[in-house]
Amino acid sequence: MSEGSRPVVLETVAAVREAMASERASGRSIVYTPTMGALHAGHIAHVDRAAEIGDVRIVSIFVNPMQFGAGEDLDRYPRTLDDDLENLGARGVPYVFAPSVAEMYPTGPSQTVVSAGKIGTLYEGAARPGHFDGVLTVVAKLLNIVQPDVVTFGQKDAQQLFLVRRMITDLNLPVRVEVIPIVREDDGLALSSRNRFLDANQRRAARTLSIALEAAASAAERGLDAALAAAQGALMGEPLVDLDYFKIVDPATFLPVDDRHKGRATAIVAAKLGSTRLIDNEMIHLG
């Protein structure tokens, strides 16, 4: 496919399976990027990396109702399919899977659900009960439909990444995960489709999340308490940030570390600015 032409839009499971079967029969490797649309430079980093590691790229655009709870922003979530197709076409992406809810869930919400287990009830899972069960269920369905060689997931959604990797391992799914680093604005704010909901003052205050992560990383050589105190100091100075949590977890278990932990750890943060919930994370090294 030449850059600048629109991707082929596949709207049914059968169409995706037929197209991918044809590509595999020709000996081409398939790299898949699942998204909910409203694409930004963070998503584009996925498709650019996919071009480097595989022969054929396919991107899905599907706002999955199973991962939204009551009162969450399902209806508010931005839907920009025409712009997304233009952006993907400009990067030479040949296929987009854009199913309807009825195509993905023809008999209503899935009665068979992948459980995220204990980790799925912590952090984002505590704030959004059932969220990760919905994520894992749709990811399992999408991987079964596309059957790629490689799937890309972003480091920005660190808990989701951990749970998806564990599901792939636990269920022996024949796909490799390619992790895409966080893409940030010039001032450090992690790119997110929800950033567009921030007003000017909230946008300025949102920078505090990455400042807190940087503070924790800088203090981490002095141990867990120093890292947490540094982050807390940064967050307390911004009244527009309604902090949900700031935790430091073991990347191998995603459980909070104690003060005996040394070496790699992941600092994770979530907060609301107005009605907009933002998350971020950074790898740190505890001394």
The residues assigned a catalytic role are 43
Per the CB < 8 A criterion, the answer to whether 8 and 97 are in contact is no
Give the integer Cα–Cα distance in Å for 82 and 201.
30
Per the CB < 8 A criterion, the answer to whether 33 and 179 are in contact is no
Give the integer Cα–Cα distance in Å for 99 and 60.
8
Q: Which two tokens stand for residue 178?
A: 């390619």
Give the integer Cα–Cα distance in Å for 48 and 88.
10
Q: Which two tokens stand for residue 136?
A: 């894992």
Give the integer Cα–Cα distance in Å for 84 and 150.
22
Cα dist from 144 to 18, 32, 108, 118, whole Å: 13, 12, 19, 24
Per the CB < 8 A criterion, the answer to whether 1 and 92 are in contact is yes
Give the integer Cα–Cα distance in Å for 166 and 103.
27
Written as one letter, the residue type at 160 is Q
65-68's contacts with Cβ under 8 Å and 24+ in sequence apart are 65/101, 65/105, 65/109, 65/134, 66/105, 66/109, 66/110, 66/113, 66/133, 66/134, 66/137, 66/138, 67/128, 67/131, 67/132, 67/134, 67/135, 67/138, 68/131, 68/134
Give the integer Cα–Cα distance in Å for 68 and 13.
22
